[in-house]
Structures are given as structure tokens and as C-alpha cells.
A = this chain, B = another copy of it.
Amino acid sequence: MTALLNDPNSAKGNILRAAAALFREKGFNRTTVRDIAADVGILSGSLFHHFPNKEAILAQLMEELILLVDAEMQKQMASVDDPGDQLTALVHCELRAIYAEIGTGLSILVTEWRALSEASQARILGLRADYEARWLSVLSQLAEQGRLTTEPFLARQFIRGAAMETWHWYKPDGRWNLAELAAQLSGSFMTPVNA
């Protein structure tokens, strides 16, 4: 079920991927169900065979995205030990997710959040809990080691905001690549090692 987004053979997967691309490009409101259907190669009415309504597509998309990114994050974290490196890994992972190197673009989660019904918002907020717990754990370790100047919860919020908002100015083929961007962002919050 979780893998729909990556299943190239499922109709739902095709719809989710097409929708993701369009939502990212034009936003939820400006994307019509006809647009999505056309990209999938079916008629608009057929969408409703798979999803009860347009919003459900967005909701499921976000849901799968979070699960996907969380899984990737867990994997990346396993390969490093130092909390500082772990933070950089987390940031890098989140940036890669935003820029669709994982899934289809986590930025949708912020830019289109308002298009979700309150019910969907609540549901997805729940799913995010695990994901956020991972961040808090790393940030708390850094704080204990005196390597964080900011309160851990605030640090997480600031980092998320900074990362998500890169969407509005960052060009992947510009002066910094994603790894460098990640290093700069995580570095901003950590006390310099030789201090």
C-alpha cells in the first residue's frame, strides 16, 4: 500500500505521480483533474474510480511522501554515529525529499497544506510524529553535548522552515549543491567544533 507511489504498474501510482508533478508545478488549485487525467492518459471521470475526490489524491500523496522520506531518513541515520553528522544527514535527506530526489517533492507538503481538508490535515499530522521524533532525538543529543545554541524544539522548527523555504529561491544547478546546502544549514545551528 505504501509503495503505490513507486509502483509503475498501478493505476493509482500513475495518478499519484502525475498529480505530484502538476501540484508542484502549478499548485493544487490551478491543477485540474483533467490535467492529471490527461497526464496519466485516461479521462477525467476515470480518476474517480480510484480516488473519491481531488483532495484525496493530494492527501494520499502527502501521506506516502512522509512515509517514504521517513524510511529513507532511518536508513541514512544508520550509517553515521556522531550527532552532528546525523543532523547533517537529516537535513540533507529533507532537502533531497523537497527536491524530489526522494519521492516526488516534499515541498508540496508545505505549499499545498491549506488545500487539505481539516480531517486530512489531522491524519497527516499524526503520521508526521515519528518523523519529527527522529529530529528531536538528534537535536537533544547535540544540546546535551553543548553543541547546539538553540532550544532543540525551536531548532527543529527553524531548520524545517529554512529547508522548506529554500524551494522559493534555491536553484539546484547554482552555486551550492544539495550536500553543501545541507552542511551550511546544519552548520548554522551547531557550535563550531574548535570553539
A123 touches B (CB below 8 Å): no
Interface residue stretch chosen among A3-11, A53-61, A67-75, A161-169: A161-169
A155 contacts which chain B residues (CB < 8 A)? Answer: 188
CB distance from A153 to the nearest CB of B (A): 9
Q: In chain B, what residue has the closest Cβ to A189?
A: B188
CB distance from A45 to the nearest CB of B (A): 11
Contact (Cβ within 8 A) A166 B162: no
A165 contacts which chain B residues (CB < 8 A)? Answer: 110, 157-158, 160-162, 164-165
Per the 8 Å Cβ criterion, residues 145-183 of A in contact with B are: 149-151, 154-155, 157-166, 168-170, 176, 181
A124 touches B (CB below 8 Å): no
Q: Which residues of A are interface residues toward B (Cβ below 8 A)?
A: 26-27, 29-30, 110-111, 113-114, 149-151, 154-155, 157-166, 168-170, 176, 181, 184-185, 187-189, 191-192, 195
Known interface pairs A150-B184, A165-B165, A191-B195; 8 further A-B residue pairs with C-beta atoms within 8 A, sorted by A's residue number: A29-B29, A149-B192, A154-B181, A154-B188, A155-B188, A157-B166, A159-B162, A161-B163
